[in-house]
Amino acid sequence: MIAIGTLLHVKQLSRSGLELTISLFIPIVQATLAVYLFRSGGESHRLLDAAVGAGMMGVWSSVLFGSGGAIQSQRWQGTLEMIMLAPRRPVLVLLPITLATALTGTYALLATLLWGRLLYGIRLDFVHPAAFVAAAPVVILSLGMFGLLLAATFVLLRNANALANTLEYPVWLVSGILVPITVLPTWTTPLAAALPTTWAARALREATAGGPVWPSVGICAGISLICLALGAFALTHVERRARAAATLALA
């Protein structure tokens, strides 16, 4: 059920011309940002690392806005009531949607690598190419599970869109997606350690530039499973509250 649901939601999301265009062309900006940042820092040898990091920014944006707004977008489409009427736990109904938003985020990752290669001549010399190919789907699906927690909590907030906007940049900064965590204030370290985005970015960076990939993948998956459990618990509460407050439908 989760596999077919995810596949069909990926299909639905991938057929939006606007969203597809955004996810293919925003990476130009992100790739450019990353390349100039690293070149000016005298780290031209780490451009691939920068491109992967910039791609992860795209995945995070997709999860943050797609999963965070998952319930609201289903409500706007008029499908929320229909899916919540299914005789399933709410988590099983919504997880395919948040997984799909993470998977469609890979378009941004791939596009960033492509633009980096075409515009800036970045060579795709991965230290562990097989590990990169294996780890990328795991960390991306993990972020989809993290997305479920966002979906469940954002729906309780009246100004979730504003919160999503303010979370986008701080999270990729704190997670060390583009700049190393070591240059950030020490108080951010525990926060970074608790975020699955930190470990996802680290796993892909280690596959790109060298390092132990699998411990980071494992920690990312572990934190995401905790988020999934918390999200599942929150969704049960959210569903009952929505039935009591009559907020499943738009009207």
| Rounded to 5°, angle at Cα 154 from 151 and 156 | 115
CB environment 170-179: b (16+ within 10 A), e (fewer): ebbbbbbbbb
Q: Which is nearer to another protein, 85 or 133 (CB)?
A: 85
Q: Which is nearer to another protein, 86 or 119 (CB)?
A: 86
- Judged by CB under 8 A, the residue of 21, 41, 43, 88 near another protein is 88
Smallest distance, another protein to C-beta of residue 15, A:
4
Q: Is 248 in the site for another protein (CB under 8 A)?
A: yes
Binding segment toward another protein, per CB under 8 A, in 26-34, 57-65, 172-180, 243-251: 243-251
Smallest distance, another protein to C-beta of residue 247, A:
10
Q: Is 22 in the site for another protein (CB under 8 A)?
A: no
Q: Which is nearer to another protein, 5 or 116 (CB)?
A: 5
- Judged by CB under 8 A, the residue of 52, 93, 174, 221 near another protein is 93
Which residue is associated with the tokens 């993948």?
A: 217
Which residue is associated with the tokens 């590990």?
A: 131
Nearest of 59, 89, 96 to residue 74 by alpha carbon? 96
Amino acid sitting at position 218: G
Q: In this structure, how many other beta carbons lie within 10 angstroms of the beta carbon of residue 193?
A: 12
For the chain, what is the total number of helices (H) and then of strands (E)? 12, 0
What is the separation, in whole angstroms, between the first and last Cα of the chain? 29
23: its two tokens: 């996810």
105: its two tokens: 């985020």
Q: Which is nearer to another protein, 14 or 189 (CB)?
A: 14
Site for another protein in 56-85 (CB under 8 A): 77-79, 81-85
Smallest distance, another protein to C-beta of residue 14, A:
8
Q: Which is nearer to another protein, 119 or 249 (CB)?
A: 249
Q: Which residues bind another protein (CB under 8 A)?
A: 1, 4-5, 8, 11-12, 15-16, 77-79, 81-88, 93, 240, 243-246, 248-249
